[in-house]
Structure 1
Amino acid sequence: MLKTITLGLLLGVLVAPSSAFLPDLLEKLWPQDSKEIFDTVARIPYTDLLNENPYVDPFILHSMTHYGFFYVVDVPEYSASDELTYLQKFFNLPEGVKHGLEIKKHNSANKNAYRGYCPGLDDVHSTLQFKNVFNIGPHETRVPFNNETMDSDMEKLRYEVQEPNVWPETGDCDFDKHFKEVFQKGFEHRRSIGRAFVKSIARSLSMPSLPSLFTEDEFSAMGLRKYPVRGEINTNMYSDFDGTLLRELEHVDSTVTVLSTFNNSGLQMLYKNEYREAPVSGENGFIVNIGKLVEDIIDSKMMSVRHRVVEVPFTRYSITYFLGPQFDADISRSMTGQLTEAGRKYTIFGEWIKDYLGAIELFYY
């Protein structure tokens, strides 16, 4: 029944659909021979999403309202295997090399507070901190610090969130060059997906002013993550929900998320009060979802999905990209003017992110 309804929506937005084209399109985006519940989550071609082709909107809307996530596939000039290769090579670098890239919380000689390497293996018992992360942002340079214009904590934070990236300098020029190129390109792919997704939401929900909140992305972040195998189990690693042993705690994101799991199993999404395994992102695709802050802004017309990673018997790698609103975006009211949960305390995103960073370890955003 749902497929019939969506087919009707598609016929209203496709331009002169051919009888041969439409079945192939439906089978690609929404497989008919599905066996598992998440097999029917939409798989949206990257080029069509970025070209703002309106036929993708009902598929995204259905997946986001029923499951809370969808896939972007067929990404040109993108190779997940290349990213995984360089990600693994980075985490296998000597500790002394990685130490030179650490954020200042871990290496006081460095100035970078957000971008760089974060050795998070200081708490073997924690479901949150037992991972290593290398964070990449949207900035390569920024204007020099000017004390005369930094007349408030918010202005200082505005400056801080434009912190430039740090990149490996290993002495291996070929590795250093390609590592930077691979992940700069990967960052742009993910940012493009996030922004195109926001535009699709705006079209689907008749919220034309939504994209204006994401014109800039001062604190977007892409985290290369390594979850090593643990040799010790502790009771706080088990889920309070159903007792499952976890690698990553159950949580809901905050903004727009573009996730690469490669071919690693373990990611589970909550669906009808039961956690179910999500298909992997694969060789040239991504998993996309929203978080609670964005859900509130769009009046809960799409849902933020609760998810987790169960314990797996291998070192697990992933890349998580977050697209947040711009620093001055008004997050106090939804698209229909309702007070948001964040609006009870904050007006702009910059105020929210200041407390968010203070409430968690800085390098996990």
Structure 2
Amino acid sequence: MLRSVALLLVLGSASAFLPTLIEKLWTEDSAEGFSGVARIPFKDLLSGNVYVDPFILQSMKKFGFFYVVDVPEYNATVELDYLKRFFELPEEQKDDLAIKKHNAANPNAYRGFCPGVDDVDSTLQFKDVFNIGPHETRGQRGDASKKSPLENMRYEVQEPNVWPETGNFTFDAGFKTTFQAGFEIRRNIGRAFVKSVARALNMPKLPELFVDDEFSAMGLRRYLQRNEINSNMYSDYDNVLLRELEHVDSTVTVLSTFNNGGLQMLHNNKYQEAPVTGDNAFIVNIGKLVDDIIDNHLTNVRHRVAEVNFTRYSITYFLGPQFDAPIDKSMTGEPTEAGRKYSIFGEWVRDYLGAIELFYY
């Protein structure tokens, strides 16, 4: 049925290009692999072209993710070069950007450099991360004593970014410009995906929950190559050696793996290798918290990173609802899992930040 709807939409708007379009967006998948995952052109997604909606919906239902391709004015090679050069900076220069528990001069708890964990027994967090958010400056707080705890938390999550100041103006300016632009591209993809889902599922109020994104985040990640292996690094699911444990995301994810293999998605009860994003594409998937809001119509895919014999780089962007977005009920009024504990997204963020501080410190 979904495929019929998709074909009718395409026939109505681009019949002359139908064979090429279908082959590009949606190829038949085999029992193994992900050849059937949708590949959606960036311009069509961002312009709100409704012909992409059934393709996205089908791919998200069946596989839990899709690709956004043909992204203009985006160069993954440039991003990867700056990412590597940042992590290769002297430790004292990276420490200048470290979050507050590592560097008291940086008041941020989250935006900035989060050094990797040195403990070999740690599996999930054996990586370095540089977190970037949507804010360059922080607004006026006023009298904190006269504000509610949630009002104060709204202020806290609007942490301004910190950027490298290495003395190399070309690098510093290029790094900041490149990742500010990359942040906007990913945020626009995340919002356009939400609008596509809202159209496909007839949930017109869904995009209203994402008008603001006080706590959206883009993480530049370096998964360090391990020198030791222990039993904690093996999957409980199938005993495969892992670089990052199996997990399900919470919000909307836009992921760049560049040409690094290792990412695996659970499909048909088997972890299978996801094709890399390459030069100008992104993987998009949805997390449990957001899927609950849309009555679990999609698949919040379980995924992991298998162990590889090289230092691995990726960039992960997360788009969450705005701070005061209700998350206790779905779009049809059904109670959500998050609603057992939280009324609005800001309450969830409060606990999330607390968990980060407990983990790192």
TM class by shorter-chain length? over 0.9
Match in the other structure for 1:137: 133
CA distance in 2: counterparts of 1:298 and 1:244, whole angstroms: 33
1:231-310 equivalences in 2 (<5 Å): 231-310=227-306
Match in the other structure for 2:197: 201
CA distance in 1: counterparts of 2:273 and 2:197, whole angstroms: 25
CA distance in 1: counterparts of 2:218 and 2:98, whole angstroms: 16
Deviations 1:280-337 (A, max 9, x none): 1110000000000011101010110000000000000000000000000000000110
Match in the other structure for 1:147: 143
8 Å contact 1:158–1:350 — kept in the other structure? Answer: yes
1:144 aligns to what SS in structure 2? coil
1:14 aligns to what SS in structure 2? helix
Query: 2:60 is matched with which residue: 64, 69, 81?
Result: 64
How high is the TM-score relative to the length of structure 2?
A: 0.96
2:179 aligns to what SS in structure 1? helix
Given residue 292 of structure 1, which amino acid in structure 2 is its aligned partner? K
Deviations 1:76-120 (A, max 9, x none): 000011000000000000000000000002112321211100101
Match in the other structure for 1:213: 209
Match in the other structure for 1:179: 175
Match in the other structure for 1:189: 185
Deviations 1:147-197 (A, max 9, x none): 257522211110011111000000000000000000000000000000000
Residue 110, structure 1, aligned to residue 111, structure 2:
no
* Distance change (3 Å), C-alpha of 1:328 and 1:117: same
Match in the other structure for 1:331: 327
Query: 1:358 is matched with which residue: 331, 354, 361?
Result: 354
1:41-56 equivalences in 2 (<5 Å): 41-56=37-52
Q: Percent identity?
A: 69
1:313 aligns to what SS in structure 2? coil
* Distance change (3 Å), C-alpha of 1:47 and 1:120: same
How high is the TM-score relative to the length of structure 1?
A: 0.95
Which moves more between the two structures, 74-83 or 150-159?
A: 150-159
Residue 228, structure 1, aligned to residue 239, structure 2:
no
Given residue 37 of structure 1, which amino acid in structure 2 is its aligned partner? G
Match in the other structure for 1:26: 22
CA distance in 1: counterparts of 2:213 and 2:359, whole angstroms: 17
Given residue 92 of structure 2, which amino acid in structure 1 is its aligned partner? G
Structure 1: 5+ residue runs without aligned partners? none
Deviations 1:180-228 (A, max 9, x none): 0000000000000000000000000000000000010000000000011
Backbone CA RMSD of aligned residues: 1.7
8 Å contact 2:29–2:36 — kept in the other structure? Answer: no
CA distance in 1: counterparts of 2:295 and 2:31, whole angstroms: 32
Match in the other structure for 1:312: 308
Give the C-alpha shift of residue 142 in structure 1: 1.8
* Distance change (3 Å), C-alpha of 1:352 and 1:44: same
CA distance in 2: counterparts of 1:275 and 1:362, whole angstroms: 31
